[in-house]
Amino acid sequence: MVVKTETRRMEFDEKWGKDYHSIVLCWQRNWDRIILFFDYLPEILKVIYAFHAIESVQMSLRKITKNRSSFPSDETLLKLFYLALQNISKKWIMFIWDWKAVLNRFTIQFDDRMPWQ
């Protein structure tokens, strides 16, 4: 999987490197950290993606501001975000589909870090 990923990244670099030079440079600089995610089993990746908190919060805040074209002041926007974050944080409890399979995969991949050990 890692070799295929590296090949695909190089194809992207060749095709889009001129148009998206900063992205290509960012990926090249951080490739050692990025590639680690491709070693995870699919069940673990699902959990990582589902709980990506920053994207979740950003998407929720965008939904709130999407239909409003302007705000009277920056303070108004900050107050709206504050109230929204109060509601968003209440919804952070999420059900994980097929938890037993996911837990088994966590045990396989991170056996030394499991809390019951």
6-54, pLDDT tens digit by residue? 888 899 999 999 999 999 999 899 988 888 877 777 777 777 776 666 7
- Regarding whether 71 and 24 lie in a shared domain, the answer is no
- Regarding whether 26 and 72 lie in a shared domain, the answer is no
Percent of the chain with pLDDT over 90: 17
The alpha carbon torsion through 83, 93, 36, 116 (nearest 10 deg) reads 140
- Regarding whether 17 and 59 lie in a shared domain, the answer is no
pLDDT of res. 22: 93
Q: Residue 91 is part of which domain span?
A: 41-116
- Regarding whether 101 and 49 lie in a shared domain, the answer is yes
Write down how long the chain is: 117
Q: Which residue has the tokens 């990582």?
A: 48
User: Among 86, 93, 48, which Cα is nearest to 64's?
Assistant: 86
- 76, 88, 95 from 82: Cα distances, Å: 10, 10, 25
- Regarding whether 9 and 46 lie in a shared domain, the answer is no
Instruction: Please give the Cα distance from 103 to 99 (Å, whole number).
Output: 6
Which residues have CB under 8 Å from 60's CB, separation 6+? 84, 88
- Regarding whether 96 and 66 lie in a shared domain, the answer is yes
Query: What is the count of structural domains for the chain?
Result: 2
- Regarding whether 53 and 83 lie in a shared domain, the answer is yes
- Regarding whether 46 and 31 lie in a shared domain, the answer is no
Instruction: Please give the Cα distance from 32 to 38 (Å, whole number).
Output: 11
- Regarding whether 31 and 77 lie in a shared domain, the answer is no
- Regarding whether 45 and 34 lie in a shared domain, the answer is no
- Regarding whether 96 and 54 lie in a shared domain, the answer is yes
Instruction: Please give the Cα distance from 99 to 113 (Å, whole number).
Output: 18
**In terms of pTM, does the model score above 0.75?**
no
- Regarding whether 45 and 74 lie in a shared domain, the answer is yes
